Structures are given as structure tokens and as C-alpha cells.
Structure 1
Amino acid sequence: MNDDELLRYARQIMLPAIGIEGQERLHRAHAVVMGVGGLGSPVAAYLAAAGVGRLTLVDPDHVEASNLQRQILHGEADLGADKVASGARRIAALNSTCRVETRAERLDADAMRALFAGADVVLDGTDHFAARGAINRAAVATGTPLVSGAVIRFEGQLTTFDFRDPQAACYHCLYGDEGADEDTCATSGVLASLPGVVGSLQATEALKLLAGLPTLAGRLLLIDGLHMQFREIGLQRDPACPVCGDPP
């Protein structure tokens, strides 16, 4: 680590739980951000700012005017551009030492597994149940830790599924097949700042995981933004789960 890097990350390095060793672990890490929207924007920005060395941004969508209310990586000049290209430009301006790769496509199961197999953590910022299920299945298959966040209206949820633990619960253990017709921000709305809250917490979970610190694994954090209340519930793996459960 050179003098410029020591100065840049000094406030983080001085944390006893991080130190130079932890900062170097972040520099060597590869994080995959699935979705560069309301959640993925603060996720990608904070991971890059904190010194994560490699990011892969995955999103097939383009920047639209309705995104600008909450998707802070994008601006008016980016309207019509690929979200991953817009996000990569902002990250490059924020931290030119962060290596950013982009995938402006909807990945199939094989492509997701190939990508996740080379990553240290995956962060899910998508807003459709089918996409979340596919991401979960790929992360379970490769054993890659998954940080999952969700927002709707004034509500948010957050947890970390650490599949390095064979007894870890997965997304399907928690939700099963019940979310097939779930609400989305496009149909139900969301407060502009709430994705920033949950996305920042997702980035915090990923940074702790990469640095070897405790995470939310085994717990689900529920956020009521309207009344500013936080509570958590415990998660347990379902042995009969069709995604991560024990073979018959």
C-alpha cells in the first residue's frame, strides 16, 4: 500500500478491526452488484469509495427520468444510457483505482454461476422476485456470500446469506415461492432516501464480510422508515428447501 492509499483510507485503517491488513483484503476483493438502481447506486459508490479493488456491475436497463428520484449514480445527462455505463463513469470519477467491469445484459443461470464463482461477495439490488430467486440459486451453487436488500414504500429489509457456512439459510428458505406477484417500486412507490439507507447498510455488510468481521448472517433486519423503527428476526435454514436443503 503506497502513501497515497494510506492517506486516502486513513480513517478506515485506523479502525482496529480493519487496519492495514483489512484494507488490503478490500483491495484484493471482487464484489458483484446485481442491479445498478436505487439500492445498487449507494452499494457501488460506497464499495468503491472504501477501496474494494474490483466491481462488476450487472444491469440490462437504461437510465430513465423516473430513476433520478432515488438512483444517485445517475444524472440528467445519463438519460438513455446503459445504467452500468453511467454507474461506471461515476465510480471512475470517485475512485480511479477501482477496477469496474460492466454487464449490460440479463444473465442466465450459467452466466451467473460463472460470474459468482470468481467473486467474494454478491449484492442483490434487483426488485423482481424471479431475479432474486435466480441470484440466490446461483450464489448457493457457488457458495458465494449474498447480501440481500429490498425496499418498498417506507419499508426496507436486509440480510446476509453466508453460504460458506453449510447450515446457512438462503433466500428461498425465507420467502419460498410467495413473492411471485409481489409489489415493486414501480407499482407501489418508494421514498427517495430509503434505498440509500438500505443500500448503505448492504455496503456495510459487504465491507464487514470482506474484512472478516461479523455480519447479519442468521438475522433479518426490518426497517420501518415511516416510524423510524428497526427490528430483527432470526433466520434458520429449511432442511427441506429445494434450493439449499438436504438431498432426499
Structure 2
Amino acid sequence: MTLPALVEPARELSRAEINRYSRHLLIPNVGMIGQRRLKNARVLVIGAGGLGSPTLLYLAAAGVGTIGIIDFDQVDDSNLQRQIIHGVDTVGQLKVDSARKAIARLNPYVQVETHTDRLERDMAVELFSRFDLIMDGTDNFATRYLVNDACVLANKPYVWGSIFRFEGQASVFWENAPDGLGLDYRDLYPEPPPPEMAPSCSEGGVFGILCASIASIMATEAVKLITGIGEPLLGRLVVYDALEMRYRELPIRRLPGRQPVNELAEDYQVFCGLGLPADGATTSVPGISVTELAKLMEQNEMPVLIDVREPTEWDIVRIPGATLLSKSPALPQTLLQRYGMDANLVIACKSGRRSAEVTRELLNEGMRHVRNLEGGVQAWVKDVDPSLPSY
């Protein structure tokens, strides 16, 4: 079912704009009025990462008049495999600044508004209220639920995309859509999955080209909603498997008995089972710094170092002397049986989060000489041996 156009047409296009967008103007469904709607549109893209990068480029090329970008991160070498709006010359820069430069090179008629803050509950609704449409390509459930709830409270539709390894998903959510068609993210995911079942791309990896496949769907849906053409993905979930080169479509229906969103949650990290905000997630278990571990290694007093990452991560980089035993439900009992109750263990992962969970489980089993490696392998590369690769 076609929805009414989100945006009223802007003033007449200039001669230069007509030349630029002529291939759009020739399409009867878009035409001059549709292009003027795009010119008048204000779209906020959350994140200039894997999905945000191609989405931003296509929205800019299409002629969306004002594009907002919110991202607190900086461009890193590991981004360049998929985040195509950035380049070698912008490594180390804020992603919003890198993206703004790329958009300016592509289409000088687009106004870009940048926001360098992390998206938080105390500013999300007010920020969203300034835009016609929100684009969510974030890679964690806590932010996804925040985006959903803030869109509900701001009465804004949003286009959502998700990627992991070789699979991607996309849909449109709009709680207050016309004609009783309203749906939101909680109709698809009433409850967040357990954290161990939802690794991020930085932990599990992602096929770079997949980002373009899903982002192109997201940008298409944005243009359709802005101009009021076609049938949007509201009420439908598109699932794409790149390995099989197969698309599937699943219906989304309003969840019976779902309570309306009347306010934002106090803490979306806690809601998603992460316990503590990211900055303090590892402070509740005993820890050891990488420099302390390196000193023990030099003194031949090395504890048993257990790396709980996946084999693919281990193949990229590892700490000398570590033993790979990937995180699993059986791992605590395996370690207990292999090393005994009184073993002096240090548990490591990429960043310290997964290893903190394992450390906590071992403490619950009664082991008292177990510590978490603070900052994980990333910290080892940064503070002990910068010659090693990172990811």
C-alpha cells in the first residue's frame, strides 16, 4: 500500500539541478514534483559506518536537500573494507567530517548537519523531531531500541537495516503510520536476544559488499517514503543471504497485547542484558592490565593466559603464550577440569567484554585466582606491542 508523501515539494529546481537530476525527472513516478520533495527533505542517518556510508552517498546523489549525520567515532583502517564514504586520506578524522567532505564532492547542493555526540536518551527525541525521516543502520540492540522508542515519541518513521557476516535485513517502522498500519521494532523483536547471541560486526565480521546491498534497499525505501511512491517495506522484513544470493520476505504484524511506548527506558544497556554501560562493563570482576601482564611475562611469572575469542580472530593476532579456548557454555567447566580450582588464570578476548563474562562465570564456580585482561588484545597491541596487527 502506497503511503502519502512525507515531504511537501520545495521551490522550483534550478537549471543546474534539473541537469543533475534529469534521469529522475524522466521517471513518471518521480518527476519534477518528486525531485522537489527530495530537495525539501530532511533525513537523519545514524552512523556513518558500514550501512550509513553507502546510504549517505545514495541519498546525497538522489538530491535529498538536508542530511544529518550523527556519529562520535573516528575513521580507522579497519573501516575501509566496507565504509566506502571514507578513504585513506581521512583515517583518524571524525567520521562525520569525512562523510561531509565526501558528500560535498558528490553533490554541492546538499546541506549536511553533523552531530559528533553518541546518541543518548536525553537528546534522541529532540534531535529526531528536527527531521522528516530517520535511517538506522546501527550495529547493537541497545541503540536500535533507543532509536525505535525515540522515533515513536517523536512521531517519525524510520528505515532500519542490519548486517552480520553474509546476511542482512531491512524494513520500515512507523508506529503512527496512516490507516492503522503502524508498526515498530518491538513487533519484530519484542525482547532483545541474550548478549552472547548478538555479537557485533567488530566481533563476528561482515562481508564488506553486503553493506551496499542492504544500504541500497534502505536508501530506496527513504526515497519512496519521501516522495510517496511505490509500496514501502512497512509490515515486511526483507532478508538477504549473500552466499546463496537469495532474498526472502517475511510479514511483520503488530504484536498482540504490545504496550505502547510512552517514555524512553532508563538504561538501554541494562534492558539488553549488558548489565553496565560500556565504559564500566568490566569493572565488576578482578582485572589485570596488559602492562602488568607483560611485566609478569618478563619475570617468567606468566599466569595461564586463556584467549576466549574465535579461531578467525586468533589467526589475525594473538598474545604470546596464550591458549585458545573459545567462549562457550561449557568453557567454565572445561577450564575448571583442565587447570583446577586454584589455577592462576588470566582470561582475554578482543576488548575485555567477553572475557569479563567468562571471568565472572569462573568466579561463580568458586575459582578465586582468575582475572580479566583489561582492554584485551586491543590494549596489548596498543600499549605493549604496536607492531602487531589489529582489527
Q: TM-score range by the shorter chain?
A: over 0.9
Q: CA offsets, 1:219-240, max 9 Å, x none?
A: 0000011000001111111243
- Provide the rounded CA distance (Å) in 1 between the counterparts of 2:123 and 2:138: 17
2:248 corresponds to which of 207, 231, 241:
231
**Number of matched residues?**
245
Q: Is the 8 A contact 2:152 2:176 kept in 1?
A: no
Which one has a bigger Cα radius of gyration?
2
**How many Å separate the matches in 1 of 2:81 and 2:60?**
22
1:244 is displaced (CA, Å) by 4.3
The alignment's TM-score, normalised by the length of structure 1, stands at 0.95
Given that 2:66 and 2:110 are in contact with CA atoms closer than 8 Å, whether structure 1 keeps it comes out as yes
Counterpart position of 1:34 = 46
Q: Which residue of 1 aligns with 2:182?
A: 168
Structure 2 partner of 1:127: 139
Q: Secondary structure of the residue that 1:222 maps to in structure 2?
A: strand
Task: Please state whether the residue corresponding to 2:218 is helix, strand or coil.
Answer: helix
User: RMSD of the TM alignment (CA)?
Assistant: 1.3
Report percent identity of matched pairs: 41
Which runs of 5 or more residues in structure 2 are unaligned? 1-12, 263-391
Inter-partner Cα distance in structure 2 for 1:180 and 1:170 = 20
Contact 1:158 1:220 in 2 (8 A): yes
Out of 111, 118, 123, the residue aligned to residue 99 of structure 1 is 111
Q: 1:207 aligns with which of 219, 223, 226?
A: 223
CA distance in 2, matches of 1:140, 1:128: 19
Specify whether residues 88 and 180 from structure 1 end up closer, same or farther in structure 2 by C-alpha distance, changes over 3 A only: farther
Q: Does 1:108 align with 2:126?
A: no
Bigger CA drift: 178-187 or 34-43?
A: 178-187
How far did 1:172 drift? Answer: 1.5
**Partners of 1:68 and 1:241 in 2: how far apart?**
40
- Runs ≥4 residues deviating over 6 A: none
Letter in 2 for 1:72: I
Distance 1:244 1:231 in 2: 29
TM-score (ref. length: structure 2):
0.61
Q: Is the 8 A contact 1:170 1:244 kept in 2?
A: no
User: In the superposition, relative to structure 1, how do residues 180 and 117 fare at CA in structure 2: closer, same or farther (>3 Å)?
Assistant: farther
Q: How far apart are 1:170 and its partner, in Å?
A: 0.8
Cα offset, 1:117, TM superposition: 1.1
Q: Secondary structure at the match of 1:193?
A: helix
Q: Is the 8 A contact 2:73 2:95 kept in 1?
A: yes
Q: Which digits, 9 at most, give the CA deviation of each residue in 1:81-100, with x for residues without a partner?
A: 11111001100111111000
The match for 2:155 among 140, 143, 158 is 143
Alpha carbons 2:63, 2:110 under 8 Å: kept: yes
* Residue number in structure 1 paired with 2:30: 18
Aligned mates of 1:108, 1:96 — CA distance in 2: 30
Shift of 1:187: 1.1
Matched, 1:194 2:210: yes
User: 2:9 matched to 1:7?
Assistant: no
The answer on whether the counterparts of 1:137 and 1:243 sit within 8 Å (CA) in structure 2 is: no
Q: Which has the higher contact order (CA 8 A, sep 6+)?
A: 1
Supply the AA of the counterpart residue of 1:105: D
After TM superposition, the structure 1 stretch with the greater mean CA deviation from structure 2, 43-52 or 236-245, is: 236-245
